[in-house]
Structure 1
Amino acid sequence: MDIEVTIFTIITHSGEARSSSMEAIQNAKKGDYKKATKCMEDAKEKLALAHEAQTMLIHSEAQGNKVEISLLMIHAQDHLMNAMTVKDLAEEFVDLYRNVMCRKQEVV
């Protein structure tokens, strides 16, 4: 296993997940819940790929193959945790926009 490739896999997929989550919020804000839902599905898929790469590193270390902690590794973990947080918040924002818009339409 090439650790640097795995680290960059985590960074890449985490960044894509974060971007998709933010895009979901923007689509929900515009009232396009179909696109928002698609973006959230994409974010979940990308996070799963990033998590899979992280799990490979964890399994490798658990098998006795020590992984050197580098600034790049910390950066990858930071990206993954931030992407997970943004995804969770995006889900809440999409629901919030959906509920607010539905109530707004009921009032009109």
Structure 2
Amino acid sequence: MEGLELIAFNIIGMVGSAKSKVMESMTKARTGEFEAAEQLIKEANEFLVQGEKEHFQVITQEAKEKNVELTLLFMHAEDQLMSTVTLRDIANEMIENYRMMFNLKSLIDGNLE
């Protein structure tokens, strides 16, 4: 395996790890473990940066040579990259929403005592 196929598998692998971290971060936030959730997002970002570097190699090659033959496998890798970036952005919003909910619940519980 070499060339574009290898890059595609590298992207898919990195992005798959990132997606797992993002999903886990939302689970942590749902239970109020906000520091752990934020740490998982940071770890996901590290994987995403690696996937984006691999992707950028192909973009650069195409800009220089203009003869990169894109494959279904590479398009799948791009799709996984883009959807995981979007999922990460949504997870960041969800973490903040969970944080607000926990803060509001704390205020309400404090007023009921």
Secondary structure of the 1:60 match is helix
Whether 2:73 is the aligned partner of 1:72: answer yes
What residue is the counterpart of 2:27 in the other structure? 26
Give the Cα separation in 2 of the matches to 1:22 and 1:15: 11
**Deviation at 1:35?**
0.9
Give the Cα separation in 2 of the matches to 1:39 and 1:7: 24
Return 5+ residue gaps in structure 2 as ranges.
none
1:2-23 deviations in Å (ceiling 9; x for gaps): 2211111111111111111111
Give the Cα separation in 1 of the matches to 2:54 and 2:23: 23
**Deviation at 1:33?**
0.8
Secondary structure of the 2:32 match is coil
Q: Whose radius of gyration is greater, 1 or 2? A: 2
What residue is the counterpart of 2:101 in the other structure? 100
Return 5+ residue gaps in structure 1 as ranges.
none
Secondary structure of the 1:69 match is coil
What residue is the counterpart of 1:41 in the other structure? 42
RMSD over aligned Cα atoms = 1.2
Instruction: Provide TM-score, normalisation by structure 1.
Output: 0.95
Secondary structure of the 2:8 match is helix
What residue is the counterpart of 1:55 in the other structure? 56
Give the Cα separation in 2 of the matches to 1:59 and 1:20: 28
User: What letter is aligned with 2:42?
Assistant: E
Dislocated runs of 4+, deviation >4 Å: none
Give the Cα separation in 2 of the matches to 1:89 and 1:33: 15
**Deviation at 1:95?**
0.6
